[in-house]
Homo-oligomer: A and B are copies of this chain.
Amino acid sequence: MLYSLSTGGKRIRPLLLIAVAGSYKPVNGEMYKLGAAIEMVHTYSLIHDDLPSMDNDDMRRGKPTNHKVYGEALAILAGDALLTESFSLLGNINEQELSPRDALYLTRRLTEASGATGMVGGQIADLEAENRGVTLAELEWIHRHKTAAMLKFAAEAGGVIGGAPPEDISLLRPFAEEVGIAFQIKDDILDVEGNESAIGKPVGSDENNGKSTYPSLLSLSEAKHKLRNHMEKAEHMLRSLSVPAPDLFSVLSYIEDRDR
């Protein structure tokens, strides 16, 4: 569990949560607990996705994948225990910072975002799409479930623990969905024209694996145009919030301009 949690990564989900929550009140330890819960769910999904029966990946973030180090059985169980532990963290947040009713609401939301109706559903669609071409609509469905659902949860959770007004929370969810799709388009673009040492895997791996991506379905320049389009929608929603939220604009710039 610790091995995979400590291999780094962009921590984009907790980053988003903290940036949202911190827009409404000073950042505190309970917000980090909630961010850690989200990162645990993400980490469990990576461990299971990397398994031989799924994507069969040997390396992740420049290090051997969990099952390469500990074997398949322990990798499966480490993922199971990380998923379980995430609900424990969520259930252990101080009542002063998150009421039991709100904690339970976020528990339900986390199950929707991560389970059969969210991330797991997206992974199943992704596996089924592996050996055939997909349409742009199918690709988008996969990313909305596999990636964007958890980002939406992160943004909503940040709003709830930060005490954001309901009108802001109903903007933050579609905002994070735009961020999720933009994040994935950027990933696909980096796979075409990124720097190998920065992204930590060979450029062109998607094309070599026959994976459908935004550049392959649209063209590289159309993909860049689409990225900018999602960013503009996200920026527009941020400007409609009841607070200035400069950190959230920084998160957007980071996602659009990153080189890995």
Contact = CB atoms under 8 A, between A and B. Distances in A.
A187 to B, nearest CB: 22
Contacts of A107: 87-88, 90-91, 104, 107
Contact of A79 (B74, B80, B105): B80
Contacts of A259: none
Q: Is the interface of A mostly helix, strand, loop or mixed?
A: helix
Question: How often does this chain occur in the complex, in copies?
Answer: 2
A152 interface: no
A45 to B, nearest CB: 8
A48 B76 contact: yes
Interface string A135-159: 0000000000000000000000000
A71 interface: yes
Nearest to A105: B91
A88 B104 contact: no
A76 B51 contact: yes
Interface size class of A (residues with CB under 8 A): 35 or more
A116 interface: yes
A105 B91 CA distance: 7
24 contacts: A1-B116, A44-B80, A48-B76, A51-B72, A51-B73, A53-B73, A54-B73, A54-B76, A73-B127, A74-B124, A74-B127, A77-B123, A80-B80, A80-B120, A81-B116, A83-B84, A87-B111, A88-B111, A88-B115, A90-B107, A91-B105, A92-B108, A100-B100, A107-B107
Interface of A: 1, 44, 48, 51, 53-54, 71-74, 76-77, 79-81, 83-85, 87-88, 90-92, 99-101, 103-105, 107-108, 110-112, 114-116, 120, 123-124, 127
